[in-house]
């Protein structure tokens, strides 16, 4: 018997919704088993999780705050992956974006928000785009695989930030060796808050999602990016400037990831710390993949992931579940959602061997 995995064509929205719903339910059942094995109170833990994610207006706002950078890093991954450019440098680009935003904001400490805000955002996008641009040039000129170059650049920028914060020029006076951070930015550089903890970064992220959708689906540049992903060889035969398309695509992706770092800095932390950006880039890759490499799906999955992150804080405080177990639970739920994605898009077929 031969078993094959075939892509579904024209699967209904009902089937897709049912697949994702069953996957999420199965993920929570699996996490309940993990909690039971750890002798934690399952009911208390789940109550804390849902209360922390959706239990009040403030909880829902915290969920959106946590989702904001993931939307942007997810969009960064959507752009390059739709073009089949396997850049996984979003993590380093987030760091570079935060560093660019901090440099601009700290240099313009006396300027009003209307001046420093847009310039800091531009600095964030430039920082991220610079990192991705280096990888694009290495690919175009020296045929260096973007997977390797972006991973190496991730390490370089993370260690550069570590240097700047550990006795370097950005280290806050009196900071201990174990807790490196910059001085707090002036309030004129902070993104305005819309309600409670929710800042204007969510509007930036949603506008970016709309812009990416329109770019990919309604413009000639977006067509070039999608065509690059479909058949790069055919583009070369058509006389298209493939290196230029690669460069533009990677610059846009890097700018979006850098924007995530800038938004998180200006909207939440207001200072650079060694670890507060950790995982946002890699998390965005997962969000984009689960979201089907579509901006709308990316936004939805980022909000789900933001809810898990926000609810995990209450779970840790109220039920005493350790961080390691919470991370295992989040990974388990995400794994089942990935399975649901596969179920929605593919089906198993089998035939008798002849």
Q: How many Cα atoms are found within 13 Å in the side-chain-facing hemisphere of 15?
A: 11
Position 67 scores a pLDDT of 98
Tokens (6 digits) for 179: 């807790």
Q: Which helix (H) or strand (E) holds 8?
A: none
What is each CA distance from 156 to 57, 98, 165, 336, in whole angstroms?
A: 40, 15, 14, 33
Tokens (6 digits) for 350: 């089998």
Q: Of 293, 298, 297, 348, which is closest to residue 7 (Cα–Cα)?
A: 348
Residue 320 region by backbone torsions, left for phi larger than 0, else alpha for psi between -120 and 50, else beta: left
Q: Which residues contact 276 (CB under 8 A, 6 or more apart)?
A: 264, 269
Q: Of 348, 319, 344, which is closest to residue 11 (Cα–Cα)?
A: 344
Tokens (6 digits) for 173: 């006076």
The H-assigned helical ranges of the chain are 13-37, 42-54, 57-82, 90-107, 113-142, 146-165, 201-218, 220-230, 232-237, 242-264, 280-290, 295-319, 323-345
Rounded Cα distance between 281 and 254, Å, is: 11
Q: Could you tell me how many residues make up the chain?
A: 354
Q: Which residues contact 50 (CB under 8 A, 6 or more apart)?
A: 311
Position 1 scores a pLDDT of 60
Rounded Cα distance between 63 and 147, Å, is: 31
Cβ atoms 116, 102 nearer than 8 A: no
Residues in the chain where the model's pLDDT stays below 50: none
Cβ atoms 258, 103 nearer than 8 A: no
Position 10 scores a pLDDT of 62
Tokens (6 digits) for 220: 């000639």
Instruction: For residue 231, give the DSSP letter.
Output: -
Cβ atoms 250, 119 nearer than 8 A: no
Dmax over CA atoms of the chain, in Å, equals 79
What is each CA distance from 244 to 63, 102, 147, in whole angstroms?
A: 38, 30, 19
Q: Which residues contact 24 (CB under 8 A, 6 or more apart)?
A: 333, 336, 337, 340
Angle separating helix axes 90-107 and 113-142, nearest 10 degrees: 140
Rounded Cα distance between 280 and 282, Å, is: 6
Report residue 206 CA to chain centroid gap.
13
Position 176 scores a pLDDT of 58
User: Vertex 301, ends 128 and 79: CA angle to 5°?
Assistant: 35
pLDDT in tens, 220-246: 999 999 999 888 877 888 888 999 999
Three-state DSSP class for residue 194 = strand
């Amino acid at each position: 018997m031969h078993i094959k995995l075939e892509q579904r064509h024209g699967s209904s929205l009902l089937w897709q919704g049912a697949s994702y719903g069953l996957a999420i339910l199965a993920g929570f059942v699996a996490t309940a088993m993990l909690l039971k094995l750890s002798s934690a109170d399952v009911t208390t833990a789940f109550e804390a999780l849902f209360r922390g994610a959706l239990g009040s207006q403030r909880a829902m706002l915290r969920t959106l705050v946590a989702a904001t950078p993931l939307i942007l890093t997810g969009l960064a991954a959507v752009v390059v992956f739709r073009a089949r450019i396997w850049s996984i440098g979003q993590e380093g680009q987030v760091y570079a974006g935060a560093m660019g935003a901090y440099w601009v904001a700290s240099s313009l400490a006396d300027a009003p928000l209307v001046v420093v805000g847009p310039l800091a955002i531009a600095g964030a996008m430039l920082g991220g785009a610079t990192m991705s641009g280096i990888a694009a040039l290495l690919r175009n000129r020296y045929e260096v695989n973007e997977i390797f170059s972006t991973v190496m650049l991730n390490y370089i920028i993370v260690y550069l930030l570590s240097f700047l914060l550990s006795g370097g020029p950005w280290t806050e006076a009196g900071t201990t060796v174990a807790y490196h951070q910059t001085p707090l930015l002036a309030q004129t550089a902070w993104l305005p808050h819309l309600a409670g903890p929710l800042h204007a970064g969510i509007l930036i992220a949603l506008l970016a999602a709309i812009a990416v959708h329109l770019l990919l689906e309604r413009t000639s540049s977006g067509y070039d990016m999608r065509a690059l992903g479909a058949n790069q060889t055919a583009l070369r035969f058509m006389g298209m400037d493939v290196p230029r398309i690669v460069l533009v695509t990677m610059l846009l992706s890097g700018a979006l990831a850098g924007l995530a770092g800038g938004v998180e800095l200006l909207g939440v932390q207001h200072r650079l710390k060694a670890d507060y950006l950790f995982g946002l880039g890699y998390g965005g890759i997962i969000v984009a993949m689960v979201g089907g490499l579509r901006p709308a799906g990316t936004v939805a999955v980022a909000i789900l992931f933001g809810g898990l992150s926000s609810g995990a804080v209450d779970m840790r405080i109220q039920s005493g579940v350790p961080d390691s177990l919470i991370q295992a639970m989040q990974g388990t739920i995400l794994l089942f959602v990935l399975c649901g994605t596969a179920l929605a898009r593919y089906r198993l077929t089998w035939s008798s061997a002849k």
